[in-house]
Amino acid sequence: MITFHNHLHALHQGKLEMFRGQLVPCFEVPARVDHVLMELQRRQLGALEKPMAFDGSALASIHTPRYLDFLAHAWDEWVALDPANAAHDALPSLWPVRTFRSDVLPANFSARMGLFSFDTGTPLTSGTWVAARAGAHCALSAAQQVAGGARAAFALSRPPGHHAGADFFGGYCFLNNAALAAQHLRGRGCQRVAVLDLDFHHGNGTQAIFYERPDVLFSSIHGDPHTEYPFYLGYADERGAGAGLGFNHNLPLPRGSDFATWRAALQLALQGIARFRADALVVSLGLDTFAGDPISGFRLQCDDYLRVGADLAAVGLPTVLVFEGGYAVAEVGVNAVNVLEGFEQEAA
């Protein structure tokens, strides 16, 4: 399996995030990808490639022009406000909640940052745009590889993507890599694409992007939003809207769920994908389902991820796997590569 590796990911390295009312060191760190890369090289599991180049229309297939323009220029605007800002990441501080307008683009930088975000846990840094764009190109490259006939490809990148919507960032995510991959597959001839989100945290951005579309099925297994981030989406009764009604499938599980419970939900999700008759599969591969993850609450063990990979391969679809969460840094490499190895063994 070829892996497209974001060689620029470390340009995005947040200093602090707001977590449970305090500014703390960021959980989403460059070492996450570094550990996966080292494990891939140790096991010699397929080729490693830098991403292909794509023009701006690929990002614009999912994200709005004014949002992309904001991300591309945000850091320069932040520093222009005060040169001392160069030493500090930018975090939003206000948002246009209910009854506030969001159609007018404010001139004030802080107001615009709030317009395009939904939490204070996602610092914007000097290298965010370059790293996020290169990561999106990894996902697009993996989709291109699969559309060209490959059985599977892996996009190894950070920052992650599945919390990012068409015009907002949050949850450590700026560009929605899985959504971009799914859309690229659609553009390359796949009539129906399934997106399966396995991160502990619901992929609210991906759901929002495809919620009214019947050509992309979104299915997610995640912590119950009654108690788990991002809280405001991910309930089982969210089934899609308009033409997309019936093409959104959420499987929330309680904190503390073990692998048997989680795997039963996976089988339900895969049965739904089979009924959808997808031409290709995109997997938002979050590894924060691991028992040792510091900000999550499921109880999967390292060896379980071999079976996860085998279950994904058994579906028999061309598959793009996109790296998402997973914050037990020392184990994330083993867990991610176990999924890939399990997939390869089953697909052989």
Residue 58: which residues within 8 A CB-CB, separation 6 or more? 136, 137, 140, 180, 184
Residue 163 is a catalytic residue: yes
What is 44-73 written as a DSSP string? T-S-EEPPPP--HHHHHTTS-HHHHHHHHH
- For the chain, give percent helix, strand, coil, nearest 5: 40, 15, 45
- Are 343 and 151 within 8 A, CB to CB? no
Residue 295's closest CA among 8, 17, 6, 3? Answer: 17
Pairing assessment for the beta strands 16-19 and 22-25 based on DSSP bridges: antiparallel
- Are 22 and 8 within 8 A, CB to CB? no
Which three-class secondary structure state does DSSP give residue 240? coil
Tokens standing for residue 108? 């004030």
Catalytic residue among 9, 163, 184, 201: 163
Cα(32)–Cα(158) distance, integer angstroms: 8
Phi, psi of 287 (to 5 degrees): -105, 15
Where would I find the beta strands (DSSP E) of the chain?
Answer: 2-5, 16-19, 22-25, 48-49, 152-156, 193-197, 216-223, 248-253, 280-285, 319-323
Active site positions, annotated: 163
